[in-house]
Chain A
């Protein structure tokens, strides 16, 4: 990837985990994830309704100061579509939009492949990208996915703190270059973890966008050990490789629509299966759901997840995240009490 490293003004901002980073990387652009710095602060912007997704609001707020030349949105939810509309009006620049299907049928894969082909042409100002460039980028990204899956497998074995891995994921998503990856690899090799996190009850963390490292820290400080996650930029993001061969856009579309789905995809069945799988494989004692306030798509799934785990006798804690610090004290109390419930083996 070093050879593709672009100038800093060649960034492509992205928001949804269904955005294939392979395409801008193949074209010598730098895909950078827009995080909104994980916090809504200051006055509410009059142009964006305060009951809208806090992640969307935080990105909009942060963008007023620092934003990439190009930004790509995906049709992941209504809030994101509204952000796309606002962005064009308020900030301009080169704004792209991916019409992301909600299902993963062969027809949906073909449709999404055409969407991606169109996006690649837009990024190259109308010219078709070279297939070889795309395959190089796909191969690189498969390698990166395998690397991060390796780190998450260490989390599953309690050999690495989840917070450490999530922070490195964040760094890489913001600046996905070979240099960043190398620095993470070197840091990992030099890390002699003392194993302090190994004793507490293991939990699975389920969320959508979870930018606040402080919430992850609260979970760990409460004595819980995150041994797996179901989070947009966690294990889901690195699940499954792109199969190499054939048409690269079809291969990309197939991987992105077939992987461990997020709540915006139709149905909760597959996601529940993955949650149950990691819960059992890793011997987790409970589930912590950090629900993004005003996220209808994920909140519709929550009663189904609660019911499923209630029947299995798995304790579940639901926390609400509004991207402010107003409820961190209460969260700490809940997490500590939840730890005690798990500790007593209930």
Chain B
């Protein structure tokens, strides 16, 4: 049996194919663009799978098109984190459009969560727009910020105002890497304030595309005293969780509690 976890995010679509033992057998990625259904269908083309479960913002859209079940991304991330880090007590997920903090209870159950809304401040989109203002791709922005010896003070988290603030600092001759580091510090500060409000026990896992950013990893690890766990492919956690939850559903409904005695952490991550 093969199942698909499909995470239709605001910026990218992530697809994970999993066998019945929870092993990842295929991964596919694409930009979401303004036509997410076309992108998803292109990703799925040629795959031979039994069931699909969608998560992310486009889950209901793709659920209808693909006749797939759906699951909210909060649960998907929680499930994937518990699968890979059974000792994790929380999740900080910073994606393209939103930030979520989730407190986990026994067995990885979601006991509390918080999620930003409306505004892209403090999310991957914010960093992407700022990277654009520096004339570089988002994949290089974190490393560039880490070149700085100290951070400029960025007081605004609004994407529009922060860009103006960065422009003003550049005009005053401030070193660009310091400004970049200041922007990362501002994002980290905002995420940490959410972590404090939800107050999960430690350690917590850092997931979502922003967890690929080395500067964000470093800043959060420093603030959380290294009590942060980072999967090797943090951007896939939503899709992995969707697939695992689908396997759980199939196992509990169709074949009893455990389909595969060897099922476990296929893809462990590492501490930051």
Contacts and interface: CB of A to CB of B under 8 A. Distances in A.
A340 interface: yes
A337 interface: yes
A333 B115 CA distance: 9
A331 B60 CA distance: 13
B7 interface: no
Interface in A304-346: 320, 322, 326-327, 329-334, 336-337, 340-341, 344, 346
B75 A320 contact: no
Interface stretch (B26-34, B105-113, B129-137): B105-113
Nearest to B58: A329
B57 interface: yes
Contacts of B118: 322, 326-327, 330
Contacts of B116: 330
B73 interface: yes
Interface residues of A, number: 16
A340 B105 CA distance: 13
A329 B57 CA distance: 7
Contacts of B60: 332
B69 to A, nearest CB: 12
B118 to A, nearest CB: 5
A340 B111 contact: no
A141 B73 CA distance: 47
Contact of B109 (A322, A336, A344): A344
B163 interface: no
Contacts of B71: 336
A336 B75 CA distance: 9
B115 A340 contact: no
B133 to A, nearest CB: 24
A265 B58 CA distance: 42
Contacts of A322: 118
A341 B110 contact: yes
A337 B74 CA distance: 6
Nearest to A337: B74
B214 interface: no
14 contacts: A320-B117, A326-B118, A327-B117, A327-B118, A330-B116, A333-B74, A336-B72, A337-B72, A337-B74, A340-B75, A341-B109, A341-B111, A344-B109, A346-B111
9 tightest A-B CB contacts, nearest first: A337-B74, A336-B72, A330-B117, A327-B117, A337-B72, A327-B118, A333-B72, A326-B118, A329-B57
Interface of B: 57, 60, 71-75, 98, 105, 109-113, 115-118
